[in-house]
Amino acid sequence: MNTITTIDTNKLPNHLAIIMDGNGRWAKQKGLLRTLGHESGTKSVKETVENCAKLGIKNLTLYAFSTENWNRPKFEVDTLMKLLISSLKKEMKTLQENNIKLNAIGNLTNLPEKVQKELREVIQKTASNTRMTLTLALSYGAREELIQAVKKISDKVKNNIISIDTIDESIINEHLYTHNLPDVDLVIRTSGEHRISNFLLWQIAYAEFYFTEVLWPDFSKEDLYNAIKNYQSRERRFGKTSEQIS
């Protein structure tokens, strides 16, 4: 049976987030430089984005570069930034052909100006696309995101723009990088690690998690479908009992 026929397209995650892990280990296993692992990982990004769009997933967020990744060797960071620029240029056509809107979250001002420029251009040119929103988490850290949100809200309270008594989940959501995105339904992490790694800590409060041993450059269409099938087999209760859900 074709794998896709086993997926209920009425029960897709509205927001899928992926921690793309294992590029370096993939390269090391093959006796290659870590940077070649990152290059191979871009192929998995392209295939995953296209497959999610074809399935009908409306929101896909990829953890592309964390705030902690700045601490990696300069050569590796520089290579990642060059890869990002070349990928954005190369995939513009794919985004347009698949009606995909590009979004970016994180402390984007820390990115090199060339990266910021390319990002702005692709975001602007795809702004009216409606099939799927692809969000790249770049120079992103959830703790930093929450700190910035607290500062913004505190400043508004200080200046009597909002009352402290009105602060609730919706107010906090409005001040996060992801204010225009729904909560995450499913998180996939590749490479066998079982960590969140400072990724969307607020937004994944009720997300389902799927961990796979597959290294990111080897992540295939079948691996994506397996994760979604696993998600669809679970009972999402959001604090309620099974009886209440049924």
Give residue for tokens 């990829």: 62
**pLDDT at position 240, please?**
66
What confidence tens digit (pLDDT) does each residue in 67-86 have? 999 999 999 999 999 999 99
**pLDDT at position 6, please?**
82
Q: Which residues are part of the catalytic machinery?
A: 21, 69
The encoded tokens of residue 246 equal: 């049924």
How many whole angstroms from its chain centre is CA 3?
24
The encoded tokens of residue 73 equal: 């060797």
For residue 16, what is the enclosing H or E element? strand 15-19
Indicate the pLDDT class of residue 246, thresholds 50, 70 and 90: low
**pLDDT at position 1, please?**
42
Report percent pLDDT > 90 for the chain: 93
CA–CA distance, 57 with 195 (Å, rounded to integer): 24
**Cα dihedral: 136, 53, 223, 238 (round 10):** 80
**pLDDT at position 241, please?**
66
> What residues pair up with 59 in beta bridges, in sequence order?
15, 133
Please, what is the average pLDDT of the chain? 94
pTM (2 decimals)?
Answer: 0.94
CA–CA distance, 24 with 22 (Å, rounded to integer): 6
What confidence tens digit (pLDDT) does each residue in 204-225 have? 999 999 999 999 999 999 999 9
**Phi, psi for 24 (deg, rounded to 5):** -65, -45
Give me the DSSP letters along 48-64.
HHHHHHHHT-SEEEEEE
The encoded tokens of residue 56 equal: 């009908």
What confidence tens digit (pLDDT) does each residue in 36-53 have? 999 999 999 999 999 999
* Torsion sign (Cα): 70, 24, 50, 78: positive
Q: Using an 8 Å Cβ cutoff, are 223 and 200 in contact?
A: no
> What residues pair up with 189 in beta bridges, in sequence order?
19, 211
How many whole angstroms from its chain centre is CA 49?
11
CA–CA distance, 171 with 153 (Å, rounded to integer): 8
CA–CA distance, 92 with 56 (Å, rounded to integer): 20
The number of CA neighbours under 13 Å toward the Cβ of 162 is 16
